[in-house]
Amino acid sequence: MYPPSRKDFISLTLSDPHSHAYNNGKHRRQSCWRKWKQLSRLQRSLILFLLALLLIFGLLSYPSLSEQWRGKQCPKLSLSLSHTHTLSHTHTHTHTGRDRDRVFSAGAVDRLEAVRDAFRHAWKGYKDYAWGHDELKPISKSFGEWFGLGLTLIDALDTMWIMGLKEEFADARNWVEKQLTFSKNVDVNLFETTIRVLGGLLSTYHLTGDQLFLEKAKDLGSRLMPAFKTPSKIPFSDVNIGKGTAHPPRWTADSTLAEVTSIQLEFRELSRLTQEPQYQEVVNEIMKLVHKLPGKQDGLVPMFINTNSGQFTHKGTFTLGARADSYYEYLLKQWIQGGKTEDELLEDYLQAIEGVRKHLVRQTGPGRLTFVGELSHNRFNPKMDHLVCFLPGTLALGVHNGLPRDHMDLAVELMETCHQMYKQMETGLSPEIVHFSLQASDGRDVIVKPADRHNLLRPETVESLFYMYRFTKDTKYRDWGWDILQSFNNYTKVSDGGYTSINNVRDPVNPGPRDKMESFFLGETLKYLYLLFSDDMELLSLDKYIFNTEAHPLPIWPSPPK
């Protein structure tokens, strides 16, 4: 855990194993030898006899001693015993009695409680030092502002509700009611605001039935609409929600592909709730356009699209990572949201997964780990962003909804690789980007370049672990998630409250805190961990809800879209 002040960081470096501290071992060895020589022959024989006896005794009793030792090394057992006693008195969950019994059975209690503890700790930091601001800076005990919309607070609303943190939720609701306003002269990013704020408000409305959240969602949705007034109908990246104006980034007229194709679940839901069709019309238009656009390669899409021409730009580079990732995720999820009736979405998804298999999936030389690389003008690059770890979960969700069984085989293999991206690091945390070895003669499968060693508390791996556990019930996925939570606690937790992104997952002595807690740590990472450890399969059932790309659950529609 990170200590509170700079002074304490210095004390961490004192334990550096490479430090040249004075060592008098040699002198000690010499004087022992001199004393041994001074003993009589009888004394020496006696001592040797006693040592031999001790050795024989030690060898005989080794199996039982080692058993005892192994028993002592099992912290999970003692943790679960102590927690089951206290929880029955202190827990204040909002689920029904029957649900509550199910959630807290089968020894999952300690893990669920550990995630709630982590959430409370993160929330404490946010409340103490960043209340109502976008992000906590836990080391400097201050805050960072991105759009000035209380991003962390809104991203975390439904997580608190799901975890049954009533008091925390009530405080946050009060802030939304009294302080949250969208009538301010500020440029916001359309995608980020949609997935975090609009998505967060809509899901909280569904979970609570509280009109306040729907009213706020409507207000925000209507203020984001100017982004779609472009010659091509491909939206601009930025909107001023106070002035009602929109524009692309200063340096280009392009928008990022993932950004314009991963706002659909939220806008479509807003139309369904308000009975105002304009929201779904603008986002459906984008999907139709991209569906028939030239420049794809076996369903894989370039990373940029021009807001004037409506054409792909920077063609020839294909990735499942940054700038393209959630395009693929939302193809499948829109199809599920709309009751599996929109054939073009399914067609594009299935074609894309075949494209992924054909062009991007490879195995490492040393350990045969399956991974998804990148393609740049027909050259394969064995590079994979941590962001790509959403894919096992998405593939598994597709199979659960009737898509080809062999997608699950790929999901299982990729899940193992994402797990290894954590396991093979000294801190047990994945870097932002890894490269894989293709040669069998290379020593290791995973290579991390110095610029890629950071960890931003991202959710994608625990997100996929959640899906994989729900669909397979294989407890190894829970164990992997548990290890990740321990690593977050060991290397990113800041003692006075909050968790921080770190600079170097390969340096457990000084991982280099970045002084930033991303809002998705509360909105996604901790939520997925909680759902992973919950035994209650009806808690946000995947047959009733679809999670947006920021982990905000929205209902699967009871009837197909009009």
Q: Specify the amino acid at residue 130.
A: A
Structure tokens, 516: 């930033």
Structure tokens, 396: 């598994």
Nearer Cβ to ligand DMJ, position 113 or 518? 518
Structure tokens, 130: 């960043």
What's the min distance (Å) between Cβ of 417 and ligand DMJ? 17
* Per-position DSSP letters for 426-447, written without gaps between them: TTS---SEEEE---TTSS-SEE
Structure tokens, 537: 């399969």
What's the min distance (Å) between Cβ of 285 and ligand DMJ? 22
- Which of 259, 325, 342, 348 is the catalytic position? 325
Nearer Cβ to ligand DMJ, position 407 or 458? 458
First to last CA, the chain: 52
- Which of 168, 460, 536, 550 is the catalytic position? 460
Task: Give the separation between CA 187 and CA 494, rounded to whole angstroms.
Answer: 31
What's the min distance (Å) between Cβ of 274 and ligand DMJ? 25
What's the min distance (Å) between Cβ of 410 and ligand DMJ? 20
Q: Helices (H), strands (E): how many in the chain?
A: 22, 18
Query: CB of 365 within 8 A of CB of 437?
Result: yes
**Which run of H or E residues covers position 189?**
strand 187-189
Task: Give the separation between CA 118 and CA 499, rounded to whole angstroms.
Answer: 9
Task: Give the separation between CA 508 and CA 491, rounded to whole angstroms.
Answer: 7
Concerning whether 550 is annotated as a catalytic residue, the answer is no
What's the min distance (Å) between Cβ of 372 and ligand DMJ? 16
- Which of 192, 266, 269, 329 is the catalytic position? 192
Task: Give the separation between CA 318 and CA 102, rounded to whole angstroms.
Answer: 44
Q: Specify the amino acid at residue 104.
A: F
Residue nearest to ligand DMJ (CB): 549
Q: Which residues bind ligand DMJ (CB under 6 A)?
A: 326, 387, 458-459, 520, 524, 549-550
Question: How many other CB atoms sit within 10 Å of the CB of residue 499?
Answer: 28
Task: Give the separation between CA 166 and CA 157, rounded to whole angstroms.
Answer: 11
What phi and psi, each to the nearest 5 degrees, are found at residue 436?
Answer: -115, 145
Structure tokens, 363: 């195995």
Nearer Cβ to ligand DMJ, position 93 or 133? 133
Nearer Cβ to ligand DMJ, position 420 or 461? 461
Task: Give the separation between CA 536 and CA 470, rounded to whole angstroms.
Answer: 10
Nearer Cβ to ligand DMJ, position 504 or 549? 549
Nearer Cβ to ligand DMJ, position 445 or 524? 524
Going by C-alpha positions, the residue among 365, 398, 364 that lies closest to residue 467 is 398
What's the min distance (Å) between Cβ of 133 and ligand DMJ? 18
Nearer Cβ to ligand DMJ, position 325 or 536? 325
The annotation status of 230 as a binding-site residue, yes or no, is no
Structure tokens, 408: 């699950």
Query: CB of 330 within 8 A of CB of 549?
Result: yes
* Residue located via tokens 């369904």: 272
Question: How many other CB atoms sit within 10 Å of the CB of residue 509?
Answer: 13
Question: How many other CB atoms sit within 10 Å of the CB of residue 490?
Answer: 14
Nearer Cβ to ligand DMJ, position 398 or 445? 398
What's the min distance (Å) between Cβ of 458 and ligand DMJ? 4
What's the min distance (Å) between Cβ of 136 and ligand DMJ? 16
* Residue located via tokens 């805190």: 513
∠ CA(272), CA(275), CA(277), 5° rounding? 85
Nearer Cβ to ligand DMJ, position 104 or 335? 335
What's the min distance (Å) between Cβ of 241 and ligand DMJ? 19
What phi and psi, each to the nearest 5 degrees, are found at residue 546?
Answer: -125, 130
Structure tokens, 95: 């689920």
Concerning whether 325 is annotated as a catalytic residue, the answer is yes
What phi and psi, each to the nearest 5 degrees, are found at residue 69?
Answer: -65, -45
Sequence-separated (6 or more) residues with CB below 8 Å from residue 76: 110
Structure tokens, 125: 């930091």
Which residues make up each annotated binding site?
Answer: 549
Residues labelled catalytic: 192, 325, 432, 460
Which residues make up each annotated binding site for Ca(2+)?
Answer: 549
